[in-house]
Structure 1
Amino acid sequence: MIQETGPNHPTSLYIYTDQNSYEPLARIDTDGNQEQHIRYFHTDLNGCPEELTDENGKILWECSFQLWGKRIHEIEHEPIEQNLRYQGQYLDRETGLHYNTFRYYDPDIGRFTQPDPIGLLGGFNLYQYAPNGLTWIDPWGWSSCRLRFMGRTPSKKSKTGQEVINRMRGEKRIIGEGNDMYFKSSTDGKWYNIKDADMAHKTDAVAYWNQTGGFHGPKSKDVRGFMRDPNNYELEYFRHNRSQGAKLGQTYKKPEDFIGPAEKSSYF
């Protein structure tokens, strides 16, 4: 969404956090007298707007949401409508669905209403929004960017996961066996049961993609090599891992934003 206009409301121009982002920063409303008013967005970790304020910090609109984007309580302190939701989504107030570029998203069930337009390339679940509504985004209504570009993260039971466990055991950061296995968090130094562990990247996947992986292409040999390399992982308590990822404030660049190896000869 860049701009919206209509006969019964002012023209609104949207400003985002950067040129590759879908997280709103501000909007400039121009009324019938050509007077401009700047409104500022205050967003959740996933970029979903929670408040809209004026230049003086006065709250004009606020809304609380459940994890998958369902409204809990929406308040308009001024006669102002705010329809942006998850990054890339726009609320259709007649249906309650979120327009998500290539399809509609239903926040009541946390799923899309149409199958993924890129088919099984986005994963086996054609209606899934993302594995995690707090730290993952899907601004185009395709599969989540991480899944499409990087592929799946190996599980703890995979070959990669077992190599991570063996390495951490050698580092004295894992004790016990089976259901009584515990690991030591590098974030707070506490011990947690293995069932509460995420396979956490030492270098976050989005940072790797934006700096290196994107030049090789989605799910390329190099990218999948990064995702399968046990040296890139450690076990981390899931709440720490997911909150740290959200705090990065980065989003995946699109493949067309990169000059890959295939095009390199044309530029050098």
Structure 2
Amino acid sequence: VAGNEAASGGPNYAQGRLTTAQENTDADAAAEVVHRYAYDHLGNVRVKQVEIEGLTGAKTAAYTHDLAGRVTRLVYPDGAQARYAYDGAGRLSRVGDANGNTLAAYTHTAAGNIETHVAGEDIVTGTYTYNPREWVTDLNYAGTFRSKLTYDLAGNVTRQEYSHGSAASKTADYAYDDLYRITGFDLTGGTSRDYAYDRSGNLTSVVTGSSRLNYNYSGTSTPNRLDSTAVAGATTTYAYNQNGWMTARGANTLTYDYRGLTTGYGSARYLMDPDRRRVKKTVGTAITYYLRGQGGNVLAEYSGQNLSAKYVYAGSRRIARFAGDSASYYLADHLGSTRSLVDGEGAVTAAYDYWPYGKVLASSGTGTTHFRFTGHERDAESSLDYMLARSYAYDVGRFLRPDPMQDEYPGISPYAYANNNPLKYVDPDGREIVFASKEDEKRFEVYFANLRKTETGRELYNTVQNATEKFEFTFDPLSSNQLGLAEIAFDVSLPGATVNALDARVSAQGSAVTIDESRISELGEMVEGTIVHELRHLSDALKNTRSYYVNSFLEAHMDHDDRPQEIRANESKYRFLKEWRELQEERNRR
């Protein structure tokens, strides 16, 4: 693409890679949003340049990566920097600026979860405690915010004890039905709320003290579409288009683009980029522009033409905001919801508590943030949470349009939020239900990205990723002689009255893959190598399930490393490591 190399300030290894993406939302030939990319030799995005209609000049985010593909430096459009350091296991240990100031520091448990988080230069320290299943049970920012969690055996949060500063602790108790949908919330002081659902998982009523919010639905043809809500004699009506996207909410109309992304609410207008992310908001005469980094995080906000705020992240976790000379540090709960903001001196400037479905229950302080429930942006003009793929109405606990991934969640209303269990699950992008206490998925994505840079890793990853069977990857300690373990579940049936095992019909039903990240790092090995080893087992089981199943028994008497299945897995591991070394050597030569 013309101008890409000049804009990037260096060579662009772009062959076969995306270099330009444009978003054109009207009839003219000019794009409203343009993304341009430059890459390093290993295929990491080195520069992302963004042009947004109405914002003067292209804005650039520049990245530096280490040999493992991890970001070590991010340069913002105004020249400010965030620098990232990692521990021996490849986990983020420090975020700093170009002047050597610490913005955040982390230590981790043996399982890889955050153990301590220090905000800024020792401004406040948070300690995390976990139960044996690695669910956080105590999140304690001493003297600032604390949350203690109790779970049942299914991982449902049954109690939360929380406090802000020196204020008295409050206790919230939660109740669930047999489908683990939240049905009750009781808070210290007599505040309570009860929830009821229909068979499809649509909320039918919310009772708070003597107040009752009733939900009314369309009927048999469109049973999940909310027609109206009524409380204290006031009724709000809703309308939809043929796709089931809400087009009217009371007196306000909503508009969408061809992808179902919200482009208008009342008089407010929103502009989306080629990655389906909001980059411009117009409310009356106020215009906000958002510069998003390669991962989609909001790096900077512009109020009109003026840079109004910069944000710093640890992965996808927002940790700090800088506006002029002022700094704010985010302290979040297990859901990622903002619970406290502290300034550069450690003083609390804002504190938030929430009802289960995300409405603010209580707030205090002179500061504020529009990133609130589960870290998503809260739009004051609409009282909606912008959750990327969909807008979420926290006042009624529902999305405004069906889940684009609804086929993966049969039996759940496509408008429901987080399986109606908002203390256990979060929805990172409006399309997925994620267990809030699990960080494994994020770390695996880093390792997967690295191994896909090699031919061997890419082939095995694609085989497993494209399979219809589901595989769960976790980090946990294993026995002393194991670095990884793939536990594959088989469904075995014998046709007719046969008793010959060789006639059995065998199908793979999924697998749990466990990686001992800490031990691998202690041995000085690459975690990606062990993952490739286990992916080879999964790939073999998927390609010839019956043979893999039978050979597992035939090889059981052999020494572990002499088994043909293990030999093939080790060959894949060593081939990956060879390809990885060659990539690093070629990069060093350049």
Say whether the 8 Å CA contact 1:68–1:133 is kept in structure 2.
yes
1:121 aligned partner: 408
CA deviation vs aligned residue, 1:64-88 (integer Å, no higher than 9, x gap) = 11111111123342xx441102335
In 1, Cα distance between equivalents of 2:441 and 2:376: 26
Larger radius of gyration: 2
Larger strand share, 1 or 2: 2
CA deviation vs aligned residue, 1:173-210 (integer Å, no higher than 9, x gap) = xxxxxxxxxxxxxxxxxxxxxxxxxxxxxxx8753785
Count residues with an aligned counterpart: 176
1:6 aligned partner: 303
1:207 aligned partner: 440
1:250 aligned partner: none
1:28 aligned partner: 322
Say whether the 8 Å CA contact 1:86–1:137 is kept in structure 2.
no
Instruction: Name the SS for the 2:374 alignment partner.
Output: coil
2:12 aligned partner: none
Moved more, 218-227 or 102-111: 218-227
Larger helix share, 1 or 2: 1
CA deviation vs aligned residue, 1:141-197 (integer Å, no higher than 9, x gap) = 1121459xxxxxxxxxxxxxxxxxxxxxxxxxxxxxxxxxxxxxxxxxxxxxxxxxx
Change (3 A) 1:9 1:53: farther
Percent identity over the alignment is 22
Structure 1 position 130 matched with structure 2 position 418: yes
Matches within 5 A, 1:1-268: 1-7=298-304, 11-16=308-313, 18-19=314-315, 21=316, 23-30=317-324, 36-77=325-366, 80-87=367-374, 89-123=376-410, 124-131=412-419, 132-145=421-434, 207=440, 210-211=443-444, 215=461, 216-217=464-465, 221=469, 223=471
More contact order relative to length (CA 8 Å, sep ≥ 6): 1
Change (3 A) 1:219 1:106: farther
TM-superposed deviation, 1:126: 1.0
Say whether the 8 Å CA contact 2:332–2:338 is kept in structure 1.
yes
In 2, Cα distance between equivalents of 1:81 and 1:71: 12
In 2, Cα distance between equivalents of 1:125 and 1:220: 23
Aligned Cα root-mean-square deviation (Å): 4.1
TM-superposed deviation, 1:38: 1.4
In 2, Cα distance between equivalents of 1:37 and 1:130: 35
Unaligned runs of 5+ in 2: 1-297, 449-460, 473-485, 490-508, 513-530, 540-572, 581-590
Amino acid at match of 2:319: L
TM-score (structure 1 length as normaliser): 0.53
In 1, Cα distance between equivalents of 2:403 and 2:347: 40
In 1, Cα distance between equivalents of 2:413 and 2:336: 24
Amino acid at match of 2:413: N
TM-score (structure 2 length as normaliser): 0.26
Instruction: Name the SS for the 2:373 alignment partner.
Output: coil
Unaligned runs of 5+ in 1: 31-35, 148-203, 233-257
